[in-house]
């Protein structure tokens, strides 16, 4: 990789697959991946997860809710982050079958998560 050639201090890059988006037959699709430089302990930093942990409580959620799944309108979704620049719909989610992104209100997500826990 060119980055490693320019900077001898960088010896390892981690490329993580984050899946595919738009898998409908006959249409285009996008491979999704993240490139990161690992910390000295070998772990990679997930900025989305860290941001979620910092902001979750302000939106009535918990840090452990990151990547939790819930059902809305008969479809399964996974929580992928929080964007505080979207005050009305701050919670980012992806629909599980096709990984298409959606925005939800914090109250709606909290209610849907709570409904799944209750019998």
- Report the pLDDT averaged over residues 93-107: 94
Same domain, 70 and 117: yes
Predicted pLDDT at 102: 96
Same domain, 40 and 95: no
- Could you list the residue range(s) of the whole structural domain that residue 88 is in? 46-119
Question: Of 37, 88, 28, nearest to 59 (Cα)?
Answer: 88
How many helices (H) and strands (E) are present in the chain, helices listed first? 3, 6
Under 8 Å between Cβ of 32 and 52: no
Same domain, 70 and 100: yes
Q: Across the chain, what does the average pLDDT equal?
A: 82
- How many domains is the chain partitioned into structurally? 2
- Report the pLDDT averaged over residues 14-30: 61
Q: Note the pLDDT tens digit of each residue in 42-62.
A: 777 788 899 999 999 999 999
Same domain, 56 and 39: no
End-to-end CA distance of the chain: 52
Predicted pLDDT at 1: 43
Same domain, 29 and 62: no
- Report the pLDDT averaged over residues 53-74: 96
DSSP per-residue string spanning 11-64:
---EEEEEEEE---TTS--EEEEEEEPPPTTSPPP-HHHHHHHHHGGGGT--GG
């Amino acid at each position: 990789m060119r980055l490693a050639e320019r900077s001898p201090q960088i010896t390892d890059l981690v490329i993580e697959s984050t899946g595919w988006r738009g898998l409908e037959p006959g249409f285009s699709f996008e491979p999704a991946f993240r490139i990161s430089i690992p910390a000295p302990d070998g772990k990679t930093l997930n900025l989305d997860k860290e941001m979620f942990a910092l902001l979750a409580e302000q939106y009535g959620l918990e840090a452990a809710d990151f990547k939790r799944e819930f059902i809305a309108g008969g479809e399964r979704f996974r929580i992928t982050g929080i964007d505080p620049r979207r005050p009305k719909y701050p919670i980012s989610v992806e629909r599980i079958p096709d990984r298409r992104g959606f925005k939800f209100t914090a109250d709606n997500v909290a209610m849907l998560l709570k409904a799944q826990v209750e019998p």
